[in-house]
Amino acid sequence: MNKNKEQLLNKRYKAEQRFRFYGLSAIFMALLFLTIFIFKIFSTGYSAFQKTWLIVPVTFDAELMMLDQNPSKEDLQDADYYDIALKSMADLDPNANEDQENELKRMVSYFFEKEIKNELLNDPNLIGKTKEVYLTASDDLDQVFKGNYPRDLPEDQRRVSDYQLKIFDQLVANGKVESKFNISFFTNADSREAELAGIASSFMGSIFSILVCLMIAFPVAVLAAIYLEEFAPKNRFTDFIEVNINNLAAVPSIVFGLLGLGVLLAIFHLPRSTPLVGGITLSLMTLPTIIIAARASLKAVPPSIREAALAMGASRMQTTIHHTVPLSMPGTLSGTIIGLAQALGETAPLILIGMVAFVNTIPGSPMDPAASLPVQIYIWAESAERGFVEKVSACIMVLLGFLIIMNLFAQIIRHKFEKKWS
């Protein structure tokens, strides 16, 4: 009998330990996912911040460029750079036949003509001389140099030919290939060519959308929260508003995209693909988040503050505007920033209102077509070229960086400025 009891007790203790272990391993799993996730993004993305350059000697032959003696600035602008650009690439292998010359040309980006032109515009004295110029390598060679591209595939399955690899290896051996920090990733707009594509246009698109979103959502949400928390009578109608707000907070984001498409674009005829429409759509989405946060922080202001103001003869409106609202601002602001961070990461509604259009210019106002950072991630992730994979990860790193900064900022505001009542 006693032994049975002990066995039973042991069994129960074992069960206790097992249960505890399950709990711990669940947390461990969740954190493991997070780690794998972040590791994967960083390990594929960090190389995008480097860019491979080929150093190619270019002879600025006045005759080939169709330039006269003593050319003016305009002449230099209009000169023909294509021939000298082609020639300098072909000169990498003096024995190349026509096909091989073509392959040599494709070792650099199609932008190489412009790069040579800029070199001359910076220093017009180069005419007739030879100078080593940095040219952007094609995205495939860029990937080869970074070790992301398998070289042991059969040639017909590779986008880089054996011949190109041979020349490239010669250049590497001579120290004519260099890796530098990839500034153009931050200053270029989107491009079909992976080596030239950058996040400037989508970044500006995101900034404009968020600004529009802030300008609409913040005032409306704060006013609504003040009304509901301080002035609204308790009746059916305010209950209905409350149900609406709570429900809107849980409506799938894509439904807001349909709203933007069906109302803003189809009825109000606002311009498609613009951060203006994107921002309005996102503001409707973040409205409930901000209202809920603002109400919570208004509620946290102790009644004694209001009573003191009322006792001094202030009206309810004065009490609210002079005392309650300023005291609730830190909580409201941090809630707003968190809502904006959510909006910044949102993709689906923006796709529906056409912010997936290919934009290769940097937007200057909220009325210009643009993408946004998450949409840029989607666009690049859908394209087949290998060079875009690291770009996607790098873009994710930038986006996550912003989200982390915004959330930290929200935390700081909350901890630094919020008054503790106790």
CB of 320 to another protein, least distance (A): 9
In terms of CB distance, is 26 or 153 closer to another protein? Answer: 26
Q: Give the burial string for 33-66 (b: 16+ CB within 10 Å, else e).
A: eeeeeeeebeebbebbebbbbbebebebbeebbe
Is residue 20 part of the contact set for another protein (CB under 8 A)?
yes
60 or 380: CB nearest another protein: 380
Does residue 39 interact with another protein by CB under 8 A?
no
Q: Tell me, what DSSP letter sits at residue 137? A: B
Least distance (Å) from another protein to the CB of residue 235?
13
User: Is 8 one of the binding residues for another protein (CB under 8 A)?
Assistant: no
Per CB under 8 A, the list member of 130, 315, 361, 365 interacting with another protein is 315
Residue 192 lies near another protein (rule: CB under 8 A): no
Phi-psi region for residue 213, left (φ > 0), alpha (ψ -120 to 50) or beta?
alpha
Find the shortest distance in angstroms from Cβ 217 to another protein.
Answer: 9
Query: Using an 8 Å Cβ cutoff, are 151 and 165 in contact?
Result: yes
Q: Are 85 and 110 in contact (CB under 8 A)?
A: no
| Piece of the chain touching another protein by CB under 8 A; list 12-20, 111-119, 171-179, 303-311 | 12-20
Nearer to another protein, 276 or 352 (CB): 352
Percentages helix, strand, coil for the chain, rounded to the nearest 5?
65, 5, 30
305 makes contact with another protein (CB under 8 A): no
CB of 71 or CB of 257, closer to another protein: 257
Using CB under 8 A as the binding criterion, the count of chain residues that bind another protein stands at 85
* Nearest-approach distance from CB 273 to another protein, in angstroms: 10
- Which of residues 43 and 77 has its CB atom nearest to another protein in the complex? 43
Among 150, 170, 168, CA closest to 159: 150
- 3 state DSSP class of 181: strand
Asked if 270 is part of the footprint of another protein (rule: CB under 8 A), the reply reads no
Length of the chain: 422
Q: Does 276 bind another protein (CB under 8 A)?
A: no
Q: 3-state DSSP call for residue 133?
A: strand
Using DSSP's 3-state secondary structure scheme, residue 271 falls into coil
Which candidate, 210, 251, 410, places its Cα nearest to that of 329?
410
Compute CA distances 141 → 108, 166, 243, 269, whole Å: 8, 12, 57, 45
Q: Looking at residues 59 to 88 of the shown chain, list those that interact with another protein (rule: CB under 8 A).
A: none
Site string for another protein, 326-355 (x = CB under 8 A): ---------------x--xxxxx--xx-x-
Which CB sits closer to another protein, 310 or 381?
381
Residue numbers 356-385 binding another protein by CB under 8 A: 356, 374-375, 377-378, 381-382
Q: Which is nearer to another protein, 207 or 259 (CB)?
A: 259
**Nearest-approach distance from CB 143 to another protein, in angstroms:** 15
Query: Measured from the CB atom, is 172 or 258 closer to another protein?
Result: 258
User: Does residue 51 sit in helix, strand or coil?
Assistant: strand
Compare residues 140 and 346 and give the one whose CB is closer to another protein: 346
Residues 207-266 that bind another protein (CB under 8 A): 219-221, 223-224, 226-228, 231-232, 240-241, 243-248, 250-259, 261-263, 266
Nearer to another protein, 53 or 388 (CB): 388
Closest CA to 196 of 120, 108, 118, 77: 108
Distance CA 149, CA 170 (A): 18
Phi, psi of 416 (to 5 degrees): -80, -45
Among 392, 394, 410, 413, interactor with another protein by CB under 8 A:
392
Residues 43-62 that bind another protein (CB under 8 A): 44
What tokens appear for 103 in the block? 């392959």
- Pick out residues in 87-116 that bind another protein (CB under 8 A): none
Give the H/E segment covering residue 237: helix 236-248
In terms of Cα–Cα distance, which of 415, 276, 237, 413 is closest to 333? 413
Q: Does 299 bind another protein (CB under 8 A)?
A: no
In the set 26, 121, 153, 408, which binds another protein (CB under 8 A)?
26
